[in-house]
């Protein structure tokens, strides 16, 4: 009878320990699920930032191509005007007004080229600034992700032990 009572007591203690263990496992599973949810959210945020970065790079390349095309056109126009001016200065005796007109056109082309160059430099600087900011932001996100991943790994290891 004493032995039977001891066995019942041991069985009750084992059942109680089992319930405590199950509750602990459930808490651990909930914590793990929560951490995985946070990681997935951070992964989505990181992917969104990467997509923004790629889009800005595409815009930068497009703007660069358009500006280069414009500059090339203006440079060709300026070269044509310079050639015309040289031809007219060398080979012909133009009236003073016609020479002034060609010179004015050349100056206008030079001004347009200078303005376009300033616009391109400004746009390039803005894009480089945006890219730098995105790279810094990505670095911070990666650091956060690494920290969360490390934290999750430690928690998972704690849960396993």
Task: Point out the least confidently predicted range of 61-70, 83-92, 103-112.
Answer: 83-92
Smallest CA-to-CA distance from 74 within 114, 123, 125 is with: 114
Q: What angle do CA 52, 58, 63 make, to 5 degrees?
A: 125
Using the predicted structure, report yes or no on whether residue 92 has a pLDDT greater than 70.
no
What pTM value is reported for the model?
0.41
- Top-confidence residue, 102 or 123: 123
pLDDT at 93: 63
Tens-place pLDDT, residues 10-37: 999 999 999 999 999 999 999 999 999 9
Q: Is the pLDDT of residue 98 over 80?
A: no
* Model pLDDT, residue 128: 92
- Residue-wise pLDDT tens digits, 111-146: 999 999 999 999 999 999 998 999 999 999 889 888
35-38 contacts: CB < 8 A, separation 24 or more? 35/148, 35/151, 35/152, 35/155, 35/156, 36/152, 38/148
Q: Which residue has the tokens 């009572």?
A: 5
In this prediction, residues 46-67 reach a mean pLDDT of 92
Cα(11)–Cα(16) distance, integer angstroms: 9
A 10 A CB-CB count for 34 gives 12
Q: Given this model, what pLDDT does residue 91 score?
A: 66
| CB 65 within 8 Å of CB 124 | no
Average pLDDT in the chain: 89
pLDDT in the model for residue 80: 93
What is the share, in percent, of the chain residues with pLDDT greater than 90? Answer: 55
């Amino acid at each position: 009878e004493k032995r039977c009572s001891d066995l019942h007591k041991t069985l009750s203690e084992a059942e109680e320990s089992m319930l405590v263990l199950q509750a602990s496992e459930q808490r651990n599973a909930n914590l793990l699920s929560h951490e995985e949810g946070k990681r997935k959210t951070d992964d989505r945020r990181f992917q969104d930032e990467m997509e923004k970065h790629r889009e800005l790079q595409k815009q930068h390349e497009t703007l660069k191509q358009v500006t280069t095309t414009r500059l090339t056109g203006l440079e060709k126009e300026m070269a044509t005007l310079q050639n015309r001016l040289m031809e007219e200065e060398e080979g012909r005796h133009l009236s003073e007004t016609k020479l002034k007109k060609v010179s004015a056109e050349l100056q206008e082309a030079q001004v347009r080229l200078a303005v376009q160059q300033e616009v391109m430099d400004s746009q390039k600087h803005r894009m480089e600034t945006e890219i730098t900011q995105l790279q810094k932001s990505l670095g911070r996100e990666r650091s956060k992700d690494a920290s969360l991943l490390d934290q999750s790994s430690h928690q998972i290891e704690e849960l396993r032990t």
